[in-house]
């Protein structure tokens, strides 16, 4: 009897062992994009485990006082990555050695949110000194801003390092302009490893935020030198904008919502506006003038879930442009200056 019990017990243990082997959890995360080189989803898990919570808290503190800050943080991230890669160079003040990006034409008196990133960085430095880069904080803050506005979430691999210089000239040359034709804007995206789909998708970030009158005023009064308004612009929107942005220099810096239908809500209304000839910027409305981009505009206007999915994918690509890793760059103690 004891002999039979021993055999049965041994057999039971072997069965349990095989079951345990076959039931091991899959740690490959096949639904997540692969880590980018030296970047990792778990980069700060041990060195700064409260990072995500601190970023979320910092963005929320700013957002509850000023919902417009969500668009500002998203734009800050975009303008950083498009100039010599994602390296937080846009956060640097001018020095005797370089004129930085803050005062470049596309950024001067326009780009906002520096103090939000600096405040989060100060909190992170207290908890995890000299561990987390300003650029990783900026990438995470942009995602939190989108999520708080009702937009999608996306996985972010971390481990970027901060640049040690900035260039006003590079910002003037490399950032897309609302006055440029679509082919020029697309070329700037392609030079950063993005494509025409990313142009359409990331332009959808204009579902939140504001634009200064000077960026679209010529559509209202002197479209392409005709002395007349843009004939494609919806007539009621044209009238409202002409009243809001009168044809004088005094109105240049006034700001109007990029999407007046849902100013602070991250949704697909931006694309519906374009179809209704109510895109605010020339570069927005131009998306309906090219058959390839027009087809995508129509898809996103009809399917908000498709837009959210593709926006998340494009934001992953954006955040991986020209990153510094390993021993390159540095971990800045303050985001506005190199160590």
Annotated binding-site residues for heme b read 206
Q: Which of 75, 79, 161, 272 is catalytic?
A: 79
Reading the block at residue 105, the tokens are 């034409």
Reading the block at residue 199, the tokens are 């142009």
> What residues are designated binding site for substrate?
176
Give the DSSP H or E segment for 210: strand 210-212
77 counts as catalytic: no
Q: Are 241 and 230 in contact (CB under 8 A)?
A: no
Q: What is the DSSP string of 3-53?
A: HHHHHHHHHHHHHHHHHHHHTPPP-S-TTSPPP-TT-BTTTTTTT-TTHHH
Q: Which residue in this structure is represented by tokens 């561990």? A: 131
Largest CA distance in the chain: 105
Helix intervals (H) in the chain: 2-22, 51-65, 69-81, 114-127, 134-148, 168-174, 182-190, 196-203, 217-221, 235-244, 269-275, 282-285, 291-302, 304-318
267 — phi, psi (to 5°)? -150, -165
Phi/psi zone of residue 109: left (φ > 0), alpha (ψ -120 to 50 degrees), beta?
left
Give the integer Cα–Cα distance in Å for 101 and 89: 7
> What residues are designated binding site?
80, 83, 85, 87, 89, 101, 176, 206-207, 259, 267
Would strands 210-212 and 255-257 be described as parallel, antiparallel, or unpaired? Answer: antiparallel
User: Coil, strand, or helix at residue 212?
Assistant: strand
> What residues are designated binding site for Ca(2+)?
80, 83, 85, 87, 89, 101, 207, 259, 267
* Active-site residue list: 79
């Amino acid at each position: 009897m004891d002999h039979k019990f021993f055999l049965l017990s041994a057999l039971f243990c072997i069965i349990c062992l095989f079951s345990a082997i076959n039931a091991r959890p899959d740690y490959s995360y096949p639904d997540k994009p692969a880590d980018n080189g030296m970047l990792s989803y778990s980069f700060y898990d041990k060195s700064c485990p409260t990072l995500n919570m601190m970023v979320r808290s910092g963005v929320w503190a700013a957002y509850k006082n000023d919902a417009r800050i969500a668009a500002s943080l998203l734009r800050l991230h975009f303008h950083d990555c498009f100039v010599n890669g994602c390296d937080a160079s846009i956060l640097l003040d001018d020095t005797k050695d370089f004129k930085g990006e803050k005062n470049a034409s596309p950024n001067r008196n326009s780009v906002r949110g520096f103090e939000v990133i600096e405040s989060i960085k100060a909190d992170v430095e207290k908890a995890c000194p000299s561990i987390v880069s300003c650029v990783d904080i900026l990438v995470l803050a942009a995602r939190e801003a989108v999520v708080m506005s009702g937009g999608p979430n996306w996985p972010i691999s971390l481990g970027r390092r901060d640049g040690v210089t900035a260039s006003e000239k590079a910002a003037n040359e490399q950032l897309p302009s609302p006055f440029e034709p679509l082919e020029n804007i697309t070329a700037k995206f392609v030079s950063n490893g993005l494509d025409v789909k990313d142009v359409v998708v990331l332009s959808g970030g204009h579902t939140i935020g504001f634009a200064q009158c000077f960026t679209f005023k010529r559509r209202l009064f002197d479209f392409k030198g005709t002395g007349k308004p843009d004939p494609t612009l919806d007539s009621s929107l044209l009238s409202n904008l002409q009243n809001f942005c009168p044809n004088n220099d005094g109105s240049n810096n006034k700001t109007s919502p990029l999407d007046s239908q849902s100013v602070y809500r991250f949704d697909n209304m931006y694309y519906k506006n374009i179809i209704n000839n109510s895109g605010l910027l020339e570069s927005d409305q131009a998306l309906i003038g090219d058959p390839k981009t027009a087809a995508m505009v129509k898809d996103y206007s009809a399917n908000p879930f498709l837009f959210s999915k593709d926006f998340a994918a494009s934001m992953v690509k954006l955040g991986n442009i020209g990153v510094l890793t390993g021993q390159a760059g540095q971990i800045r103690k303050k985001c506005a200056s190199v160590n």
